């Protein structure tokens, strides 16, 4: 029996499907842990294949490659260095499990399978994995370690089983995606499990972006007396060393780093930066291109892109038409200059005229309206996609959640693009983040310090500029009202009568509900974007396109 244990916590950024690359990261982290005399190094959930692997994990060749990587890593532990605790899919007796494995002395010394498979929001594990049986602890260098995997600690049963079967320390590998205010929720869950079990707990989370999900890291250790022994940084890869000692009160982790965890607007901004950075990097795009209209949405997306990738990888294009104001042209140019990006102006008068002329005989005798307005947006979309195709940069789309909710966007026009960093941000949040970025320099960002968005972009009334003197509020309620009603409908699923009872006009609420429902077909064709709320459009909120229901209130 040992009275000391040194555990290295590898908070890293895997890439889904890149088993060789993830294995290389694991080997390097183990090397770092060995230099610091660690007894064991721990990795996040399903680290060897990246999380979440979705249906990729059902592919037999993928399963074989993952298990071969486990065997390779296990063989390396024959060198007498640190043991390894790592996550991987595992096939046992024809069943596929979300597994966590103990590798030591050149062998697979133990394994445990995830019991509570999440099946809500972005998670769909019940359709790909078999739930494990109630687990017992693993013996790691003479210490009985309980390993509940991620969701296993969100209810009491698994931890209760581990403590009753002799567990001494709880090590929890996680693939826990970010959403606003989730840090407090995690810590409350952890404290509940510590209170019930009397055991100290390590919460190790991955970091990085994967499609629409973004993982914030922020791993921590809480002792059995509820004291925080370690707080790792959010939004950064790191390998932290924790020192443990057996006492008459059980195992205790010595005090270590206490990183400051970003909150509120800062955490949201870092989330969209991380999500965009990893989407571009992991998909191997050389950079991004976007239309810079002189409006606040495209200005914020440009700032996020520069902070994520650097100004040399961002190309902004102004596409003016006869209704584009001199003010917008001036503001777009100033924004591009502040950000230091490549900037071009491509007028669309000729392309729009070409479409109009081609349709003239067909449209003869009809009144000009939204169809002709959409030709402007679609001309811009075609040009931006051509630039993307020619130079290989991914096209960013710039619609906020308020617009995405009510369909205030044009399919095959301003909705063109491969990724949308602000897809899950309501318009008022776009304003708030723009002001925040002008006043702060976020950590690990590559953009300039100081003001990056011209003040006039933030203060002047939003407009699509598709007709003379157009304002968003000509077609939509004021954004303060629209966002509040949408939050009630989308985030809280409130009844119409309950929203009206809060003081909102019935006609406004019913119209917003109508627009929300009839715009589902557009959202199905929209680019992915960073998940920020608990109810992003996609797997969090799966509504039918054909939908005859309306709340009768």
Query: Does residue 14 fall inside a structural domain?
Result: yes
Domain count, the chain: 2
| pLDDT higher than threshold 90 for residue 461 | no
Catalytic residues: 45, 114, 150
Q: Residue 309 annotated as binding?
A: no
What is the band of 122 on the pLDDT scale with cuts at 50, 70, 90? confident
Residues 201 and 332 in one domain: no
- Whether 532 is covered by a domain: the verdict is no
537 domain-assigned: no
Among residues 516, 509, 510, 456, the alpha carbon closest in space to that of 484 is found at 509
**Are residues 217 and 295 both part of a single domain?**
no
Mean pLDDT of 444-473: 86
The answer to whether position 479 is within a domain reads: yes
Task: Output the six-digit token pair for 298.
Answer: 């495209």
Residue 23: CB atoms within 10 Å:
24
Last residue in a domain, options 211, 226, 261: 261
Range of the domain at 445: 265-524
**Per-residue pLDDT at 184:** 87
- Rounded Cα gap, residues 422 and 399, in angstroms: 7
291: annotated binding-site residue?
Answer: yes
- For the chain, the average pLDDT equals 94
Q: Are residues 209 and 318 in the same domain?
A: no
Give pLDDT tens digits for 483-508.
999 999 999 999 999 999 999 999 99
Domain contains 535: no
Q: Is 120 annotated as a binding residue?
A: yes
Choosing from 243, 261, 279, the residue where a domain stops is: 261
Same domain, 362 and 396: yes
Same domain, 415 and 508: yes
Q: Is 350 in the same domain as 367?
A: yes
Bond preceding residue 267 cis, omega within 30 of 0: no
Quick check: 301 and 398 in contact, CB under 8 A? yes
* Res. 287: pLDDT tops 80: yes
Is 499 marked within a binding site?
Answer: no
240 vs 181, which has greater pLDDT?
A: 240
- 306-315, 360-369, 459-468, range with the lowest pLDDT: 459-468
50 is in an annotated binding site: no
398 marked among binding-site residues? yes
**237 and 339: one domain?**
no
Specify the residue for token string 């003010």: 327
37-75 burial by CB neighbour count: b if 16+ within 10 A, else e? ebbbbbbbbbbbbbbbbbeebeeeebbebbbebbebbbe
Strand partners, 7: 40, 242
Which residue, among 105, 211, 125, 194, has the nearest Cα to 156 in the 3D structure? 194
Residue 234 sits in the same domain as residue 342: no
Q: Which CATH number fits the domain that encloses residue 224?
A: 3.60.110.10
- In percent, the amount of the chain with pLDDT more than 70 equals 100
- Judge whether 109 lies within some domain: yes
> Which band of pLDDT confidence, cut at 50, 70 and 90, is reported for residue 345?
very high
Q: Is the pTM of this model over 0.85?
A: yes
294 is in an annotated binding site: yes
Mean pLDDT across 40-63: 96
Query: What pLDDT was estimated at residue 465?
Result: 67
Question: Are 138 and 220 part of one and the same domain?
Answer: yes
The pLDDT assigned to 124 comes to: 87
Strand partners, 173: 204
pLDDT digits (tens, 9 = 90+) for 221-271: 999 999 999 999 999 999 999 999 999 999 999 999 999 999 999 999 999
Residue 292, annotated ligand binder? yes
- Quick check: is 520 in a domain? yes
Q: Looking at the structure, do residues 255 and 273 belong to the same domain, yes or no?
A: no
CATH number for the domain that contains residue 392: 3.40.50.620
Backbone angle region of 43, left / alpha / beta, with phi > 0 → left and psi within -120 to 50 → alpha: beta
* pLDDT at 207 exceeding the cut of 90: yes
What pLDDT band is residue 463 in, cutting at 50, 70 and 90?
Answer: confident
Residue 295 marked ligand-binding: yes
Please give the residue that has the higher pLDDT: either 461 or 89: 89
Question: Half-sphere exposure of 48 toward its Cβ, with a 13 Å CA cutoff?
Answer: 28
Shared domain check, 282 and 256: no
Asked if residue 4 belongs to a known ligand binding site, the reply is: no
Evaluate whether residue 333 is within a structural domain.
yes
Same domain (yes/no): 85, 119: yes
Band of pLDDT at residue 314, cut at 50, 70 and 90: very high
């Amino acid at each position: 029996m040992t009275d000391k244990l040194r555990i290295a916590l590898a908070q890293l950024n895997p890439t889904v499907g890149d088993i060789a690359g993830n294995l290389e990261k694991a080997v390097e982290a183990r090397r770092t842990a060995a230099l610091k005399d660690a007894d064991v190094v721990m990795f996040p959930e399903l680290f060897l294949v990246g999380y979440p692997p979705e249906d990729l994990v059902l592919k037999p060749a993928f399963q074989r490659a993952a298990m071969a990587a486990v065997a390779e890593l296990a063989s390396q532990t024959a060198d007498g260095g640190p043991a390894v605790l790592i996550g991987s899919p595992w096939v046992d007796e024809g069943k596929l499990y979300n597994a966590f494995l103990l590798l030591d002395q050149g062998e697979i010394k133990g394994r445990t399978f995830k019991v509570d498979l999440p099946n809500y929001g972005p998670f769909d594990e019940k359709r790909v994995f078999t739930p494990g049986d109630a687990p017992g602890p693993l013996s790691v260098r003479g210490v009985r370690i309980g390993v509940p995997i991620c969701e296993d600690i969100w209810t009491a049963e698994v931890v209760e089983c581990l403590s009753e079967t002799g567990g001494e320390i709880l090590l929890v590998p996680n693939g826990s995606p970010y959403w606003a205010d989730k840090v407090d929720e995690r810590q409350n869950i952890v404290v509940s499990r510590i209170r019930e079990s009397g055991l100290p707990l390590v919460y190790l989370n991955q970091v990085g972006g994967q499609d629409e999900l973004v993982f914030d890291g922020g791993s921590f250790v809480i002792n059995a007396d509820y004291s925080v022994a370690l707080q790792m940084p959010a939004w950064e890869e790191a390998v932290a060393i924790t020192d443990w000692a057996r006492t008459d009160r059980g195992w205790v982790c010595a005090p270590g780093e206490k990183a400051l965890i970003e909150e509120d607007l800062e955490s949201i901004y870092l989330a969209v930066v991380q999500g965009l950075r990893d989407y571009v990097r992991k998909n191997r795009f050389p950079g991004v291109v976007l239309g810079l209209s002189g409006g606040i949405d495209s200005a914020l997306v440009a700032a996020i892109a520069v902070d994520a990738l650097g100004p040399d990888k961002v190309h902004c294009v102004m596409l003016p038409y006869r209704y584009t104001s001199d003010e917008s042209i001036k503001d777009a140019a100033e924004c591009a200059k502040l950000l230091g990006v490549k900037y071009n102006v491509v007028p669309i008068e000729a392309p729009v005229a070409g479409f109009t002329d081609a349709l003239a005989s067909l449209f003869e005798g009809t009144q000009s309206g939204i169809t002709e307005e959409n030709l402007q947006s679609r001309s811009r979309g075609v040009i931006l996609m051509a630039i993307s195709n020619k130079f290989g940069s991914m096209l960013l789309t710039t619609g906020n959640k308020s617009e995405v909710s009510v369909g205030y966007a044009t399919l095959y026009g301003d909705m063109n693009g491969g990724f949308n960093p602000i897809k899950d941000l309501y318009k008022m949040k776009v304003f708030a983040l723009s002001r925040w970025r002008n006043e702060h320099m976020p950590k690990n960002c590559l953009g300039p310090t100081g003001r990056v968005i011209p003040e006039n972009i933030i203060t002047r009334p939003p407009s699509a500029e598709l007709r003379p003197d157009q304002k968003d509020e000509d077609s939509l309620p004021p954004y303060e009202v629209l966002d509040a009603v949408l939050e009630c409908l989308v985030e809280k699923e409130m009844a119409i009568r309950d929203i009206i009872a809060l003081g909102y006009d019935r006609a406004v609420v019913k119209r917003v509900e109508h627009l929300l429902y009839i715009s589902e077909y557009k959202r199905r064709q929209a680019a992915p974007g960073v998940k920020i709320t608990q109810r992003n459009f996609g797997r969090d909120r799966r509504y039918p396109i054909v939908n005859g229901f309306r709340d009768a209130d």
